[in-house]
Structure 1
């Protein structure tokens, strides 16, 4: 018995048993390759690194890729801190796009005051401090104040001028790809719909109600900017305004000259296709989808009318 125990020990020394498998490390929850947890703690760390005082808890939508909140610098300057994190060593195109947008001129964006970056565990955090913009975004203007921009000629004029300025920004990177655009349009509107854009202009790429202010127009969040089919930004904002049909109709009329071109119709159709996918995925009221489809069909009618040279 003793010899057997000695033999067993010797065998184990020569051929040690395989170690118990370790449970896999918990995956870091991501949204567009950004982390979605730990943002509030990172916000506190950012304020300390930037030497600012938080005025109120940071705002964020559950599961979102960043959080932000109002702060005050030691000299009394009012600012806004935005915090985001990415896994260490992970290339993040949206973060790089936002950094490159700091060099954009002639478009009104929040003034950059400072930035800071740091590592915590396996996360690369970034905080951006901008001067506070004391203007409501469209979401706040519509939901809190009950307003509408449908008859605000001054704001519409600001929008048109701003989109012209953005379109003229020189860049070599893309917001959308030709393959993506064609696939989205064909899937929704069939193979006869125009899907190849000859004109690609610079676009913000995420022109929704949360990224534009009222009554003076300031443009936030440049994480997706790049080349897109003509009129994509105008179409994107229009279809994202389905909660205010009058404003949506005003934008459709205001940019009808853009949407009537072949490339502008492509920009319109891809924005409509994206919104229809979103409405169905989120199970929004069906009448919103019908409104978007009606816009797309009117855009197709204008395009084919212009292409054939037919006029009433």
Structure 2
């Protein structure tokens, strides 16, 4: 979905947030936090039971992405992972837009990065890496019919980035978080945030995406690869790495993460030169 809210829509999103807070008997206390391209509006709130996180997502009424709309609710079935718990939901519509307000438990830990791409070194203990690995393993074995990454998308991206020189069929799909980057994981206790896009994707997709988002900090990228070497350093893992790099290069072409372009192109060249993909 390419919709981006303009000024009046942003004002309306903030208004719906206030309405949702009142319905949930919550008082906003934190600074507003906007999601990707301003499509979500989140803020810390206080309720009689303590602190919580309230987020409102908006979409044109005729173009509501049902998969993303229900992601947080269906993710409650994923076990063995530290994540926010959904407490309440309210939906409404106004001026051609639909809104979904989700009240979740508050996660006090800071995220690893303010941006999806890691821009500077971060020191994470071995226990954190073990928790992160076990979390993605737990997600991968979750049974679901939700789809995060379609085969046709993989085919298009791999054909484009390789000029049609690599196999494009994904042999194994497993459940994935679907939006794994450094602004969606905390640095204290390893908590995974923002589950709206979770579902089936190529095996190793989350690890490959985090590795790609780490390329500006080579030592962290190396640690990601080391932690998931048994998944990534295989023919199918290299295929997934190539797909992840292609996905981010498409985002670069749209104006996102421009600093990653050089490292991503080197990553693609290295994978294609090494071969053994798919």
TM-score of Structure 1 vs Structure 2, range by shorter chain: 0.7 to 0.9
**CA distance in 1: counterparts of 2:268 and 2:224, whole angstroms:** 13
In the alignment, which residue of structure 1 is the partner of 2:176? Answer: 203
**CA distance in 2: counterparts of 1:141 and 1:284, whole angstroms:** 9
In the alignment, which residue of structure 1 is the partner of 2:57? Answer: 84
What is the 5 A alignment of 1:167-178? Answer: 167-178=140-151
What TM-score results when the alignment is normalised by the length of structure 2?
0.86
**CA distance in 2: counterparts of 1:123 and 1:111, whole angstroms:** 26
String of CA shifts for 1:252-305, please: whole Å, max 9, x gaps: 23323212323222211110101122224327656x33322333344456662x
Of 123, 128, 131 in structure 1, the residue corresponding to residue 105 of structure 2 is 131
Conserved? CA contact 2:64–2:98, under 8 Å? no
State yes or no: 1:282 paired with 2:240: no
What is the 5 A alignment of 1:1-312? Answer: 30-31=3-4, 37=10, 38-60=12-34, 63-75=37-49, 77-88=50-61, 90-93=63-66, 94-140=68-114, 148-149=122-123, 152-282=125-255, 288-300=260-272, 304=276
CA RMSD of aligned residues (A): 2.8
Q: Following TM superposition, by how much is the alpha carbon of 1:191 offset from its aligned partner in structure 2, in angstroms? A: 2.0
Q: Following TM superposition, by how much is the alpha carbon of 1:49 offset from its aligned partner in structure 2, in angstroms? A: 0.6
Conserved? CA contact 1:109–1:218, under 8 Å? yes
String of CA shifts for 1:116-159, please: whole Å, max 9, x gaps: 2233343332211112111000115999xx7504x632221111
Q: Following TM superposition, by how much is the alpha carbon of 1:165 offset from its aligned partner in structure 2, in angstroms? A: 0.6
| SS of residue paired to 2:37 | coil
| SS of residue paired to 1:63 | helix
What TM-score results when the alignment is normalised by the length of structure 1?
0.77
Q: Following TM superposition, by how much is the alpha carbon of 1:103 offset from its aligned partner in structure 2, in angstroms? A: 2.5
- CA 1:166/1:300 → structure 2, altered by over 3 Å: closer, same or farther? farther
**CA distance in 1: counterparts of 2:262 and 2:149, whole angstroms:** 25
**CA distance in 1: counterparts of 2:36 and 2:181, whole angstroms:** 18
| SS of residue paired to 1:72 | strand
Structure 2's unaligned 5+ residue stretches are none
- CA 1:173/1:140 → structure 2, altered by over 3 Å: closer, same or farther? closer
Q: Following TM superposition, by how much is the alpha carbon of 1:81 offset from its aligned partner in structure 2, in angstroms? A: 0.3
- CA 1:255/1:136 → structure 2, altered by over 3 Å: closer, same or farther? same
| SS of residue paired to 1:139 | coil
**CA distance in 2: counterparts of 1:109 and 1:52, whole angstroms:** 21
- CA 1:44/1:230 → structure 2, altered by over 3 Å: closer, same or farther? same
